[in-house]
Chain A
Amino acid sequence: NAGVTQTPKFRVLKTGQSMTLLCAQDMNHEYMYWYRQDPGMGLRLIHYSVGEGTTAKGEVPDGYNVSRLKKQNFLLGLESAAPSQTSVYFCASSPRLLANTDTQYFGPGTRLTVL
């Protein structure tokens, strides 16, 4: 049981390049999330999905697109990378119906640098 995995772990891009970050979970969770973490700012939600084929905007969606073609995968795309998108990106998943102790489960993160 791998939990939440993210690919790649590190990436360096030049301004204007595009890339896709892959998140996969094997816990059969309905909900998935993409966050970015910048120094001193905690985690900010970029986009999220409440089920296969659905996506919704979070707090900071500009410059990013997402897709949830399969329940276990959630992709985050940068069409034209900018230096302001240099950050650590985290994926998370959670079950739809939260029991008292359920929470979001996080991947290890992807460190992205845009030059």
Chain B
Amino acid sequence: KQEVTQIPAALSVPEGENLVLNCSFTDSAIYNLQWFRQDPGKGLTSLLLIQSSQREQTSGRLNASLDKSSGRSTLYIAASQPGDSATYLCAVKKIKAAGNKLTFGGGTRVLVKP
């Protein structure tokens, strides 16, 4: 059974510092891995999606890396801003997962202090 873990559960940094969020998974037979953002009281928004054949994906200040063999992904957010405060969740999709199901980690709650 796939298990996805995110450590730490919470993180607080001063504005301008780079953020490093970690995600680990137990089964390397994945189709892709996604990073989502969740604002308080809101649903999830997809930030980055990395296919299993890719090593990294970038969008603006966000960069996500994937090391499938070691079961790890890292989300880097450069020059953090107060608006980056949110909960970040990673999710993996297994190869041939019925119904395109995702397995989520517990999330990392980020606070960027001005």
Give chain A's interface residues, CB within 8 Å of chain B: 4, 31, 33, 40-45, 48-50, 56, 58, 90, 92, 94, 96, 98, 100-101, 103-104, 106-109
Q: Would you mind naming 18 contact pairs between A and B with Cβ atoms under 8 Å apart?
A: A31-B100, A42-B4, A42-B89, A42-B107, A43-B89, A43-B102, A45-B102, A48-B99, A49-B99, A50-B98, A90-B44, A92-B44, A94-B100, A98-B100, A103-B34, A104-B46, A104-B100, A106-B44
CB atoms of B43 and A103 under 8 A apart = no
B61 part of interface (Cβ distance < 8 Å):
no
Inter-chain contact count A-B, CB under 8 Å?
A: 57
Report the nearest A residue to B34, measured CB to CB: A103
CB atoms of B99 and A31 under 8 A apart = yes
CB atoms of B42 and A108 under 8 A apart = yes
B9 part of interface (Cβ distance < 8 Å):
yes
Contact among B43, B91, B102 for A109, CB-based, below 8 A: B43
Of B34, B42, B51, most A-chain CB atoms within 10 Å:
B42
Give chain B's interface residues, CB within 8 Å of chain A: 4, 6, 9, 34, 41-46, 49, 51, 89, 91, 98-102, 104-107
Q: How far is the CA of A103 from the CA of B91 in the complex (A)?
A: 11
CB atoms of A100 and B106 under 8 A apart = no
A31-B100, A108-B42 known; A103 and B4 CB under 8 Å?
A: no
Residues of B contacting A45 with CB < 8 Å? Answer: 101-102
A40-B9, A50-B99 known; A103 and B104 CB under 8 Å?
A: no
Residues of A contacting B34 with CB < 8 Å? Answer: 103
* 9 A-B pairs with the lowest CB-CB distances in the bound complex, closest first: A106-B43, A42-B104, A103-B46, A42-B106, A43-B104, A106-B44, A108-B43, A48-B99, A50-B99
Report the nearest B residue to A3, measured CB to CB: B43
Report the nearest B residue to A94, measured CB to CB: B100
Q: Give, as a whole number of angstroms, the nearest-CB distance from A34 to chain B.
A: 12
Of A33, A103, A104, most B-chain CB atoms within 10 Å:
A103
Residues of A contacting B106 with CB < 8 Å? Answer: 40-42
CB atoms of A101 and B105 under 8 A apart = no
Q: How far is the CA of A45 from the CA of B89 in the complex (A)?
A: 15
Residues of B contacting A56 with CB < 8 Å? Answer: 98-99
